Chains A and B, each alone.
Chain A
Amino acid sequence: MKIKNIIFKAFTIFSIVVLISCETSETQTVATLTNLVWADEFDTDGAPNSENWNLLTGDGSAEGIPGWGNNELQIYTDRSENVSVQDGVLIITAKEENYQGGSYTSARITTKGKLDQQYGRFEARIKLPSGKGVFPAFWLLGDDEGGNLVWPQIGEIDIMEYLGDEPTTVFGTMHGPGYSGANSITKKYEILNDRFDNGFHVFGVEWSPNRINWYVDGDLYQSITPEDVNEETGGAEWVFNRPFHLILNMAVGGNLPGSPDGNTVFPQRMLVDYVRVYN
C-alpha cells in the first residue's frame, strides 16, 4: 500500500492548528520499539479479559460528561451483545435499540488501572464499521491523578479515529491544554484503492519523550514534537510525559460525526484482532 497524498483538513470541531506536512519517504523509521510488554490477542471467547480491561457503562453522566462531551447518542453497556470476544477477535457492537432512555447501545473499554504506561509503541489490528454517524476510536488518555487533573490538561492521543461516512480515511490527533477539541492537532490518512471496513488494518503510535509518530499499516503519516506544538500553539505545554491508558470504543452520533441517517445500517461492528504495547 502506498500513500500518495497526505491530507490536512480542518474539521468543524477538530484541527485548526495545521502542521507543516511531513512527507513519507523510504528513509523514515516507522517504529523502533520491538520489546513486547503488554498484549491482548483476544484468543479466549467470552467477555474481555478483566485483567486487562474495564468495561465502562452509561452515557457519561457518572463521569460528569453526559454524551461524553460530544453530545453522543449511545449508552455504553457491558452486555455481551455490545462487547465480547469471539473467534479470536474482540467485537464492539453498536446497536439501535431503546435502552435506558437512549436509542443506541455500544461499548467502551479501557485499561485504566490495568495498563498505565508512559511512552512506548501502541498498536491494534482493527476492521472498522461503516455508516454515517458511526464513530469508532482507538486512543490513549492521560492519568487524571485521582481527579486532580482534568481534560485537556491530562492529554489525549487519538491513535485512530474514523467516521463511518468517510470509509477511506482515518485520523490521528493530539489534545492538550491550549490545543484541544476544535483546536487539536490532527491529520488525516487516506487509503488508496481500498477502504477501512473491508478488512483489517494496523493502527499505531510510537510515543517517545520528544516525539509521537502515527502510522497505518506501516506507513508513517504524522510526527509531532514538543517544538512543533510550541510553534503551532504559541507556547502551549507538552503534556505527554506521564502515564496514559488505552481506550477502545464506538460512539454513535454527536457533534462529530453527526447523527446516523437512513443509510446507516445497525448493528455495526468493530473487530479488533489484537492490541499490543512495546517499549
Chain B
Amino acid sequence: MKTRIYTYTKFTLFLGLAMLTATSCEREISDEAVPATFNSSGEIFTDSPVGLTDDFFVSFDPNVGANTEGFGTDDNVSYEGSTSIRIDVPAADDPSGGFIGGIFRDRGEGRDLSGYDALTFWAKGSTTGTIGIVGFGTDFLEGKYPSGRPNMQLTTDWKKYVIPISDPSKLTQEKGLFLFSAGGLDIIDNIPNGNEIGWTFWMDEIRFEKLGNIGQSRPMIFNGQDVNEDVFTGTQIFLNDLVQSFQLGTGEVVTVGPSYNYYTFSSSDSSVINADNIELDQFGNPFLTVLSAGSAKISATLNGVSAEGSYTANSLGSFETAPDPTKPQSDVISIFSDSYTSVSDLNPAAFNDDNVVISVPIANGNQYISYENLNFVGVGWDGTVNASPMTHLHVDVQLTSDGAKNFIVELIDFGANDTNDGLGGTDDSAGGYLVPSSQLVKDSWVGIDIPLTAFNRPTGGGGAGRPNINNIGLVVFVSTSLDSYLIDNIYFYK
C-alpha cells in the first residue's frame, strides 16, 4: 500500500455557530454566520484513500475470525485511474481468519454527507462471488447510523453498485465512511460449513453521490409483517427485521438494512409501551419494554414514509416468572435456565409440529419459552448430556390455555455412538412421562419433578420407554390436546 500524507481541514464549533473572523472586523456575530458544518466531501477512494485515517482499513476483530491479511491495493487493476482496492477473500478454513471485512474511517471530525443520496462504488470479482454486506455508518466508535446492502453478487467485469441512504439528513457528522464483509465462495452446497474457497474482488471509485434518481422508499419493521402477540409487563420487544427497499434509476429494486436510529417509532399507548425509550441488550440489539397491562401497537416512520409492518402487544399485565431454582450448580445439569450454566446452542424447536407457535420472550430479565397450540416439539442442544449421576428431571410449566391438560415430557437418548440415529433398531432410546392433569394450573407456574426412572411410556416417535440416560440429546414436550404452555428451568438434578 502506498503511503501518503493527507492534509485536512480542521473545523471548530462555536456553540453551533461559526464565526466569520478571517476578513471581518465585526465584533458581534455576523448575520452571515451559519451553523458549523463538517467536511462535505463524498470521496472515499479514487486512486488512493481520500481523507481517511492513516491505517486506512480497520479490520473486524481477528478474535472472531476476521482475516487481516487479504486487504491491499492493486496498481495493475483499476476501473479508473491507476489503482484499485484488492480484497483477497480467504477460504473458510484459512488459519489466519475465515472471512475479511472492516471499515474505512474519516481522519477528521467526520463528514457531512447530508447532501448525498447514495454510496456508490465500482467492483468486479475473480468470479461471481457475493459480498456479504457493503455499507457505511459503522465507525467502531459511537456511530449511530449504520446501514448496508446485504448479499451483493459481483460480476467478473466492472459494474457500478449503489447503496441508497435511508435519510441523508441524519448524516451530518459521519466517521464510518465504508464497511464491507465477505466470506468464501461455496460452490458445493451453499451451506456455511467450512468448505468455502477463497476468491478475489476489486473495488474502485468509492464515493458518496447525489444521484437524484433513487425513489420508491419502502421502509419496513418486523419484515413488513403485522405481528400480534400476548405479552406481559416486563416483556422485551425487540425491534428486529428493519429493512428498506428502494427502486434505483435503472429500475432495479435494492434492499438495505438501516439502523433503528433512522426510524421514528411510535406507540398507540405510551403507558403500555413507551416507544421513546429504546434500550439495547448486551449485543446492541434495540428493544422496547412492556410497562403495564393493556394493548399497544408499535409502528414507525422513516424519513417521513410510514413503515410497513407493526407489532401489537396484548399485555396481560404483571408476569410472575418461574421461581428461581435453589439447587446448587454442582447438583444440576441444566438444559435451559437463567440460574445455571446450561448446555450450549439450545434450540427450543429442534423438531416440531407444523402449527405450534414458538417464541422465547424475556420478562423481567428472565427468559422463558412459549409454545402456543403445542402438539409436539423437541428441545435440542449441542452434544448430549450424561444424566446418569442425576435422579430427576425438573421443568417449570405454566398452562396458558383452556384445555384438557394432556402434557407429556419425553427424553430421547442418542446411545453410545452419541448420534441421533432415529428410533427403532438403533442404539437410540426414548420414553415418556404423562404429567398428571391435576398438577397443571392455568396461568400459574408449576414445578414438575420427574424421577428419571419414571419415563416408562412409549413415545410418539417410536421409543419403547425406559430410555438410557447416558447420552440424552433431546427433551420433548407433547400435548395431545393442543394446549399452550410456557416453559422454564429445564434441568436434571440429584
* Chain A interface residues (CB < 8 Å from chain B): 130-132, 163, 165-168, 191-195, 197-198, 263, 265
Contacts and interface: CB of A to CB of B under 8 A. Distances in A.
Interface string B199-224: 00000000000111111101000000
Contact of A165 (B210, B218, B251): B251
Interface in B407-424: none
B245 A195 contact: no
Contacts of B251: 132, 163, 165-167
Given A131-B216, A168-B213, A265-B218, A195 B253 contact: no
A263 B250 CA distance: 14
A194 B212 CA distance: 5
Contacts of B213: 167-168, 191, 193-195
Contact of B249 (A131, A195, A265): A195
Contacts of A131: 216, 247
Nearest to A164: B251
A165 B245 CA distance: 14
Contacts of B214: 195
Given A130-B247, A195-B249, A167 B215 contact: yes
12 contacts: A130-B215, A132-B251, A165-B251, A167-B216, A167-B251, A168-B213, A193-B212, A195-B213, A195-B214, A195-B249, A198-B215, A263-B245
B247 A263 contact: yes
A130 B216 CA distance: 8
A167 B215 CA distance: 9
Contacts of A130: 215-216, 247
Given A193-B211, A193-B212, A195-B212, A168 B218 contact: no
Interface in B239-293: 245, 247, 249-251, 253
Given A263-B253, A265-B218, A167 B212 contact: no
Contacts of B250: 166, 168
Contacts of A165: 247, 251
A195 B215 contact: yes
Contacts of A195: 212-215, 249
A264 B251 CA distance: 11
A165 to B, nearest CB: 4
B253 A197 contact: no
The 4 closest A-B pairs by CB, nearest first: A193-B212, A165-B251, A263-B253, A168-B249
A194 B245 CA distance: 18
Interface residues of B, number: 14
B160 to A, nearest CB: 15
Contacts of A191: 213
A174 B211 CA distance: 32
Interface string B231-245: 000000000000001
Nearest to B248: A167
A198 B213 CA distance: 9
A131 B247 CA distance: 8
Given A167-B247, A194-B213, 14 more contacts: A130-B215, A130-B216, A130-B247, A165-B247, A167-B215, A168-B249, A168-B250, A191-B213, A193-B210, A193-B212, A195-B213, A197-B215, A197-B216, A265-B216
B249 A167 contact: yes
Nearest to A168: B249
A218 B97 CA distance: 58
B104 to A, nearest CB: 26
Nearest to B251: A165
A131 to B, nearest CB: 7
Nearest to A197: B215
B19 to A, nearest CB: 35
A263 B210 CA distance: 24
Nearest to A190: B249
A114 to B, nearest CB: 35
Contacts of A194: 212-213
B162 to A, nearest CB: 13
A197 B211 CA distance: 15
A124 to B, nearest CB: 21
Contacts of B211: 193
B115 to A, nearest CB: 13
Contacts of B253: 263
A253 to B, nearest CB: 16
Contacts of B247: 130-131, 165, 167, 263
B357 to A, nearest CB: 25
A178 to B, nearest CB: 32
A167 B248 CA distance: 8
Nearest to A163: B251
A261 B215 CA distance: 17
A195 B117 CA distance: 14
A193 B218 CA distance: 20
Nearest to A261: B253
A198 to B, nearest CB: 6
A165 B248 CA distance: 9
Contacts of B216: 130-131, 167, 197, 265
The CB with the most chain B CB atoms within 10 A, among A130, A163, A194, A263, is that of A263
A250 to B, nearest CB: 16
A131 B216 CA distance: 9
Contacts of B215: 130, 167, 195, 197-198
Interface string B170-204: 00000000000000000000000000000000000
A217 B235 CA distance: 56
B302 to A, nearest CB: 15
B235 to A, nearest CB: 33
Nearest to B249: A168
Nearest to B209: A193
Contacts of A263: 245, 247, 253
Interface string B308-341: 0000000000000000000000000000000000
A193 B210 CA distance: 8
A254 B182 CA distance: 40
Contacts of B249: 167-168, 195
Nearest to B211: A193
The CB with the most chain A CB atoms within 10 A, among B213, B245, B253, is that of B213
Nearest to A132: B251
Contacts of B212: 192-195
A193 B209 CA distance: 11
Contacts of A163: 251
A248 B212 CA distance: 27
Nearest to B253: A263
B56 to A, nearest CB: 31
A6 to B, nearest CB: 17
A198 B249 CA distance: 11
Nearest to B218: A265
A132 B215 CA distance: 13
A132 B245 CA distance: 14
